[in-house]
Amino acid sequence: MSNLSRFLKENKKQRETVKYAPTTALVDEKGNPLEWTIKPITTKQNDDIRDSCVIEVPVSAKKGVYRNKFNASLYQAKLLVASTVEPNLYDAELQDSYEVKTPEELVKEMIDNPGEYTDFVQFVTKLNGFDDTIDDKVEEAKN
């Protein structure tokens, strides 16, 4: 096997889907939290999500001048949606049951406990290869 052949796609290790129970509010008949199926996303998917969360906002007192603003909350919600295989957050019946119109709104309604939501964001972030959380980086910068 040549050195180049090691880099061919068929030799690339595939990242696995995992099970995770993001909330204790949704349980099975025995009272156990429901597990969701979560998958890692690709770099391209992440770029597309990140780009969709940037908007241009006008700079005050400078007519016709704009700056980019990143919506981190929207990015996190879109990352969760893109990584969630099951439940299907695009399902109209599921969205209707929570009276929402988008999968990003749905994930926030299904996991309406802020602590659980933050834990889920951190879990998905780590699953997607971002080892350091924002809190870790802030602590590191303080020291």
Predicted confidence (pLDDT) per residue in 55-89, tens digit? 888 888 888 888 888 999 999 999 999 999 999 99
Segment (H or E) for 136: helix 134-142
Write out the two tokens for 4: 């180049």
Write out the two tokens for 7: 């880099």
CA dist 78 and 19 (Å) reads 19
Local structure of 6: helix, strand or coil: helix
pLDDT tier, 99 (very low <50, low <70, confident <90, very high otherwise): very high
Angle, CA of 71, 72 and 74, to the nearest 5°: 70
Give the model's pLDDT for residue 38: 97
CA dist 22 and 111 (Å) reads 7
Class at the top of the CATH hierarchy for domain 15-130: alpha beta
Model pTM score: 0.81
Give the model's pLDDT for residue 133: 54
Query: Which of 59, 50, 116 has its CA nearest to residue 79?
Result: 50
Q: Within a 10 A sphere around the Cβ of 6, how many other Cβ atoms?
A: 9
Task: Label residue 106 exposed, middle or buried (CB < 10 Å: 0-12, 13-18, 19+).
Answer: buried
